Structure 1
């Protein structure tokens, strides 16, 4: 992992909800093919926009409490949090141009 950071049930509130910047949370699991496909794209966005947005990954298999709290039933799901609130939800392995467009308000 480079610019992305792992978060857990135990560290989620500090990593995400108390973050000053918008936070993109990638809900994923190791067995999920589309999750693996989108991982390099998320890493690129994290690297290219590190000054504007924090990017964290949450393994839903290892951290069921947070996934359950936010009603994550399908992965990959990406939520954008601003000041502790979910302001956008993206579901599925989106191509980079679409993902960047969807995140324009936060990384523009």
Structure 2
């Protein structure tokens, strides 16, 4: 009798706040993509599905977190976020890629993720 293959649990985007930022971003062995967003931001709504897809596709090599900017000024300031949507890619506890403004999933993969994920 064959045992059915276990389904891979799909990774989701972890929503964090200022008090969780250091733990979730700096205390991990994977690179971390931080997605800064706001509920009033139209372009953020366009980028969100791509962020979710990235979290699922790259779950073995990348941790993805999202942080709402208005109630979390400390992380926003620490990462020098001036507009939303904003992305910061951390690797070995350092920011290695920055993007502000809307971005397509393909451009995000090509310009931000692939150069830094091995």
Deviation at 1:93, TM superposition (A): 1.1
Q: Work out whether 1:20 is the aligned partner of 2:12.
A: no
1:67 deviation in Å?
0.2
Question: Matched residues in 2 for 1:3 and 1:85: separation?
Answer: 23
2:110 to 85, 101, 104: 101
SS in 1 for 2:22: helix
| Total equivalences in the alignment | 107
Gaps (5+ residues) in structure 2? 1-10
The ranges of structure 1 where at least 4 consecutive aligned residues each deviate by more than 3 angstroms after the TM superposition are none
5+ residue gaps, structure 1: none
Residue in structure 1 matching 2:47, options 10, 27, 38:
38
What is the CA–CA distance in structure 2 between the aligned matches of 1:78 and 1:45, rounded to whole Å?
Answer: 12
TM-score by length of 1: 0.93
CA distance in 2, matches of 1:52, 1:106: 10
Which residues in structure 2 correspond to 1:1-108 (within 5 Å)?
A: 3-102=12-111, 103-107=113-117
The aligned counterpart of 2:8 is none
| TM-score relative to the length of structure 2 | 0.86
Q: Is the 8 A contact 1:28 1:35 kept in 2?
A: yes
Offset at residue 107 of structure 1 (A) = 4.2
With a CA cutoff of 8 Å and minimum separation of 6, indicate the structure with the bigger relative contact order. 1
Deviation at 1:106, TM superposition (A): 3.6
